[in-house]
Chain A
Amino acid sequence: MSSVIWYIYEFARKKWIKRFLDAKTDPEIAESPSRFRDFPQVQKELCISCGACVASCPSPGAIKLVRDDEMEMAYPVINESACIRCGFCVEVCPTEPKTLKTGENYLIKEEYRILPQETLYVIDDYLCIRCEKCIDACKVGAISSKDNIITIDQSKCVSCGDCIKTCPIKGAIKEVFITNIDEQKEIINLLVKSLEEAINLEVERVRKLPDYDPEKLIKLEFPLSKIMERALEILPDEEKVTKIVENITDRLKINVITWDEEKCKGCRLCIDECPTGALTYNEEKGVTERDPDKCLRCSICYQTCPFGVPGLYTARFLLRDGRILITLKPSQIRG
């Protein structure tokens, strides 16, 4: 009995009970420090939808530009399950004041080149008509005109691509990927190889038509879907592959050499001229044969041959609606 009295005496003390009633959390635990990097907060009204935050993010899929119909603008949305809270997007944001905020990172000014360059925007001075539309379109003031030459300041560029959209000349501003260089080379090699194969087959067919006119242009088509599957094995990004193909088709030029053995009289003039030894004389048939794997397409044999055995065609390309349009032109060089 005495122990029960003791317990009541011990626990029913006024001071002891008061501690429970007035309990407060330690402010250090409840309040995060001023630098604490929480998930970035987005203020839609300041955004210029340049996409610098997306380009800078090291975590895939953590930040995306989502289009808002009401504001007619795209603004960043943060996926909290993928965000690693590095605060990089806040640091690169070019608006003043910043669209994104986290901790004290929004105080850091964008003085340094920390935005990773995956694409490089280059103005082709030869094609540029100096309309200066891109200068007005650029939201960060990276494009400037000096001595009538328009240049892009790479340290200010945020790779948003607005200049390409406004440019009236196709190919005057180019978007060049600087990552995945090895994969790009492989894709270009694949494209050139498959184009050449396709052209060779078609040229042989067209040349043997009865109403063939050697002065006429030959127009062909090559659907991009033929190589897409193999290209995606090299680089699994359909958008990138299309852009790489688009960039390369603008300036690609392929020389096609045809070989008509029926015309050959076996004079062997071309064999000594060939720089790689691609031409060999076949004694059984009495004609000269060409090895396309060794051939450089230099057209020396075409200029040497007095009987017109080799034919030289120049192919130019244009990408439109997922098809490559091919224009084959007989060469103007005469031997």
Chain B
Amino acid sequence: MTYVPIGPIHPGIKEPLRIKLKTEGERVVAAEVDLGYFYRGVEQIAKGKPWQKVVYLSERVCGICSHFHPVTFIEGLEKIADCEPPLRAQYLRVIIGELNRIQSHLIANAIYFLAIEHETLAIYLLNVREKIMDLTEMITGNRVHYAWNIVGGVRMDIKESQKKKILENLDIVEPAVYRYRKMFKTGALLGLRSKDIGKMSKEDAIDVRAVGPTARGSGVKFDWRQKHPTFTDYFDFKPVWRKEGDNYARIMVRFDEILESIKMIRRAIDELPEGPIRKEYKIPEGSIDNRYEAPRGEVTYIFETAKNGIIGDITIRTPTIMNLEACVKHMFNDSPTIADAVAIYQSIDPCIACTERVTIVDEDGRKKDFRGMNNLRRMFTQGDER
């Protein structure tokens, strides 16, 4: 029995965290994960600020899903104000959101292919992603941080020429994605390194509360867009899911979701209703628990507003914290090689920068394990025993 550490700095993983693998020969038996290299204290900065400033702060929680964090926060504020944005703004949010989802899934799959050393497919996917990035730059004015959503709607309208350009670029992206999906589906080497690796059953996925494509790859038929009024009323959305529960299923779910998103954008552009794009709101006092489906899974914002739109207590939960738990507990315990462990880790599409929410340390600066009620209770009631 030997322990193999990966990280915090390692070429196989993109962001700092430490994975401690317990191995028997080449076979990985169990794993431990160690977070806490990236804490930024977003909640502390947000506390006591007016909501107008927190919208842009929430956008900076994550760079890849930079549409979904502000939209979750803004929809919470709109629910507190008890008002619905105009229909055209809802459609425009769907268009930008799905474009963001496509680019996120493309880069997630590309990084997975880099992890299994299939660089050709990875670079192909990154190349296709550039078309989507051009579209977001053209519509919103920026490639990464869009600054496009505001309480009551969106900041700018979409033009006829831009609609045309979106459809043109999607016509390039869709056949390309079909082609790469076929390459992944039929490639012998890719299948060898993806099928039956990192398996997680449906019961386990529900048990550890896996979310997003990680859960949907294991047969959990749930997507927060099913409960979102815009998607249910105007897009009759159905979640994409697979039952295998291995790396292959997770990557295929992402490919299928890209195609689903492309369909949804086409439909949104076809049916785009006329009307205003923005309404004026006054934010009253209140509190809300709002969720939204980001590319990686469920994003939760729990916050309260004080008088004059000042944000009080705020809690942000990002999807990776649950997926990482699922990965460590159920996927690592029977992976054939150590090289596969990195591939499994990348297949859940981790985003450590937005996951680091809290680190509890004792007086000497040592980190404390706060997972589990017993550990918490011991920490807060009896003081330092361990």
Contacts and interface: CB of A to CB of B under 8 A. Distances in A.
A174 to B, nearest CB: 15
A103 interface: yes
Nearest to B165: A33
Interface string A116-127: 111010000000
Given A37-B147, A58-B53, A87-B147, A111 B138 contact: no
B49 A112 contact: no
Give the most central of B51, B134, B145, B310: most A CB within 10 Å: B310
Contact of B141 (A105, A112, A114, A115): A105
A189 to B, nearest CB: 18
B359 interface: no
A108 B148 CA distance: 13
A117 B50 CA distance: 7
Contacts of B51: 116
Given A88-B56, A115-B52, A108 B307 contact: no
B155 A35 contact: no
B30 interface: no
A112 B278 contact: yes
Contacts of B50: 116-118, 179
A35 B57 contact: no
A84 B141 CA distance: 12
A178 B285 CA distance: 14
Contacts of B142: 36-37, 85
B156 interface: yes
Judged by DSSP, the binding face of B is: mixed
B137 interface: yes
A8 interface: no
Contact of A86 (B145, B152, B306): B145
B48 A33 contact: no
Given A111-B280, A114-B52, A84 B145 contact: yes
A117 B56 contact: no
Contact of B137 (A36, A91, A178, A182): A36
B56 A84 contact: yes
Nearest to A28: B134
B141 A117 contact: no
A25 to B, nearest CB: 16
A56 B60 CA distance: 17
B282 interface: yes
Interface residues of A, number: 33
Judged by DSSP, the binding face of A is: loop
A35 B141 contact: yes
Contacts of B152: 112
A33 B282 contact: no
B309 interface: yes
B52 A116 contact: yes
Nearest to A107: B156
A35 B280 contact: no
B232 interface: no
B194 interface: no
B56 A35 contact: no
Contact of B52 (A56, A85, A108, A178): A56
Interface in B281-323: 282, 306-310
Given A58-B57, A86-B56, A112-B280, A35 B139 contact: yes
B140 interface: yes
B87 interface: no
A118 B311 CA distance: 12
Given A117-B308, A120-B308, A178-B307, A33 B155 contact: no
B150 interface: yes
Interface string B131-162: 00010011111100101001010011000000
Interface in A69-110: 84-88, 91, 103-105, 108
Interface in A19-58: 28, 33, 35-37, 56, 58
B172 to A, nearest CB: 14
Contacts of A178: 307-308, 310
B310 A58 contact: no
Give the most central of A111, A113, A180: most B CB within 10 Å: A113
Nearest to B161: A34
A52 B160 CA distance: 33
A41 to B, nearest CB: 14
A181 interface: yes
A182 B145 CA distance: 32
A58 B55 CA distance: 9
A181 B306 contact: yes
B310 A179 contact: yes
B156 A108 contact: yes
A103 B141 CA distance: 7
Contacts of B138: 33, 35
Interface string B45-65: 000111111011100100000
B49 A179 contact: yes
Contacts of A28: 134
A58 B52 contact: yes
A115 B53 CA distance: 9
Nearest to B150: A114
A181 B152 CA distance: 27
Nearest to B138: A33
Closest 7 CB pairs of A and B: A116-B50, A37-B141, A116-B52, A58-B56, A86-B147, A35-B141, A58-B53
16 contacts: A33-B141, A35-B141, A37-B147, A58-B53, A58-B56, A58-B57, A84-B60, A86-B56, A105-B141, A105-B156, A113-B280, A114-B150, A117-B50, A118-B50, A179-B49, A181-B310
Interface of A: 28, 33, 35-37, 56, 58-59, 84-88, 91, 103-105, 108, 111-118, 120, 178-183
Given A111-B278, A178-B308, 16 more contacts: A28-B134, A37-B141, A56-B52, A58-B57, A84-B56, A84-B60, A85-B142, A85-B147, A87-B141, A88-B52, A105-B141, A112-B278, A112-B280, A179-B48, A179-B49, A180-B48
